[in-house]
Structure 1
Amino acid sequence: MAVSTDALYVKYKPLLFSLAYRMTGSRAEAEDVVQEVFLQWARRPAAERELEHPKAYLCRMAVNRCTDLARSARARRETYVGPWLPEPLLGAPAAEGDPAAAFERDETLSIAMLLLMERLSPVERAVFVLREAFGFGYDEVAAMLEKTPANVRKIMSRVRAKLDGERADIAPPDAGFAEELLLAFRRATSTGDLEPLFRRLAPDVVLLSDGGGKTFAATVPIHSQARVAAFLGGLARKMSPDDMLVPAVVNGEPALVALEGPERAVRSVMAFRLAADGSIRGIYIVRNPDKLRHVSEGLRIP
């Protein structure tokens, strides 16, 4: 007897959303993919839905849709104003017992890793995500992508050659990282002292600011310890008494959210890439208002 579409939706929505988000870097597109996949499933004749492994079939449909989106997204980004950053996901990793828990606890969710994965082709990204984030076997991945297991192994080997060097130098921030950085910003705001900010920055730190042409943001990457510290100091000095930074968990890691004015409107999310020695190698500031809607809806504003 076929399992109902509603039952499959409840069971596999977390998996498909997590897969689609890692493939696209967009919450909005991931939600659209999930809806399209289940609509397509529901339209299939009942006899065709009598599948032994609906999970693999649903994942294959999601990957195919994400691959199409990735190709069109690359074309759109040629005209994107300034650096492009993934849409931030607000919240901590899923709790034990939550059906999404297994899909929210690995490095492939971080902003830093999502940016690294932008170097991959859509097929390479699919293989990497299915293997690394979800632990599917080579035979399973091959079936989903309609390739041979040997071909999938070759693709995975190619992916590792592209990513492993930089991937090894990405460390997750500790629990107190955001609070420490928040204190440094407050000191810069009140006294103009940039030294606590400067101290955490790696010499080769890079700052990316994504405004999408819809709000003020740096339209080119900012490189070097001195220039990034000066940029951050400028942001701190421009903050009014009604503005504030609050710590948050974004993409499973500590981050800062900037709130503006007495209405506490979310104006940016600041995520980080830490090196193995604990220094900040990357700073990612999402200011595009289209990418902040879910943050505004989900953040508990003090």
Structure 2
Amino acid sequence: MENYQDKLFPFAYNIVGSVEDAKDVVQDVVIKHYASDSAGIDNVMGYLVKSVINHAINTKRRNQKIVADRLWLPEPMATDRSDANINREEIISYSLLVMLEKLSARERAVFILKEAFDYSHSEIGDVLDISIENARKLLSRSKKKIRSEEYQCAPANHKQSSSYLNDYIKAIKNGDVKSLEKMLSEDISLTADGGGQIKVVRELTEGRKLSLKILFYVFQTYQEFQTIKITEVNHQPALLFYDDETLTNCQVFELDESQSMVKKIYSVLDPAKLELLS
């Protein structure tokens, strides 16, 4: 059972964007499978993938209705742990997860099956019980909505960004506005999600000038005496902020192609989304 769960998890997580919900989806499907008469199933893994995908679509639809009135960021997942059973290379990048929020649950499933798992349009049609032509149309529509060419499903390893984040930490700790300004793109955006439990300063901040003010204000007000750890989340460089032993904030960085400037910072403060990451 465990082997099936590990293989099925990336399918569910990439669709729902939540570790806990993905685990629940997979567990529900696997338990139901073992409790039923599966003697006539020739391709068990294929059957389970189809069940997980469709269950995940329904879960995502339900969750989208619940959080429709506020900004929502996916639950971050550590991808720097090589000893885990889950194939973390199949976990898509954090920036792409955020972009996929623009899609319907079904469009999201089609995109992920094609781009992350290399399914053919025929295989996608079989999984979702749709025609090949419909699968093509859904994929085309999803790519137009999210400009998918800008985001790889599994980007290259970002270990080289550690020195960059060290410079970032040094600049913000020293209050070095000029140095930090050079590290931020002119059209940088900051997105913060407190999950309705933590009140954030601003959910969305755009532009270098205002972003600098927000970053320094948040650091000097809340983070100055916290422990900062550099890590990798969903294949992207990230900072974890700890108040004693409690993880209070995960900031995921999207850098430009040259790895020299920050384009986006996603700040997750929702305690429920930080629990497993810590």
Distance 1:218 1:242, change over 3 A: closer
1:78 Cα deviation after fit:
2.3
- Give 1:176 deviation, angstroms: 3.0
Residue 184 of structure 1: how far off its partner (Å) = 2.6
Give the structure 2 partner of residue 17 of structure 1: 9
1:51 aligns with 41
Please identify the structure whose Cα radius of gyration is greater: 1
Q: Counterpart of 2:123?
A: 140
Mapping of 1:253-272 within 5 angstroms?
Answer: 253-260=236-243, 263-272=244-253
1:292 aligns to 2:274 (yes or no): yes
Q: What does residue 209 of structure 1 align with?
A: 192
1:16-35 pair list within 5 angstroms: 16-35=8-27
Q: Is the 8 A contact 1:93 1:105 kept in 2?
A: no
Counterpart secondary structure, 2:80? coil
Amino acid aligned to 2:75 = E
Sequence identity (%): 26
After superposition, the C-alpha distances for 1:174-216 in whole angstroms (9 at most, x for unaligned) are: 4232432233323332x32122221121111110111112123
Mapping of residues 150-299 of structure 1, within 5 Å: 150-164=133-147, 167=150, 174-189=158-173, 191-238=174-221, 242-260=225-243, 263-278=244-259, 279-296=261-278
- Residue-pair matches, total: 276
Partner SS, residue 256 of structure 1: strand
Q: Shift of residue 138 of structure 1? A: 2.0
Output the CA distance in 1 between the equivalents of 2:151 and 2:267. 23
**Superposed CA RMSD:** 2.4
Aligned AA for 1:56?
G
Report how far residue 251 of structure 1 moved: 1.3
Q: After TM superposition, which residue ranges in structure 1, 4 or more long, deviate above 4 angstroms?
A: 168-173, 239-242
Shift of residue 15, structure 1, vs aligned partner: 2.6
Q: TM-score if structure 2 supplies the norm length? A: 0.89
- Deviation of the 1:43 alpha carbon: 2.4
Letter in 2 for 1:192: G
- 1:17 Cα shift? 0.8
TM-aligned CA distance change 1:268 to 1:244, over 3 Å: same
Distance of 1:240 and 1:126 partners within structure 2: 38
What TM-score results when the alignment is normalised by the length of structure 1? 0.83
Per the alignment, in what secondary structure is the counterpart of residue 26 of structure 2? helix
Q: Secondary structure at the match of 1:245?
A: strand
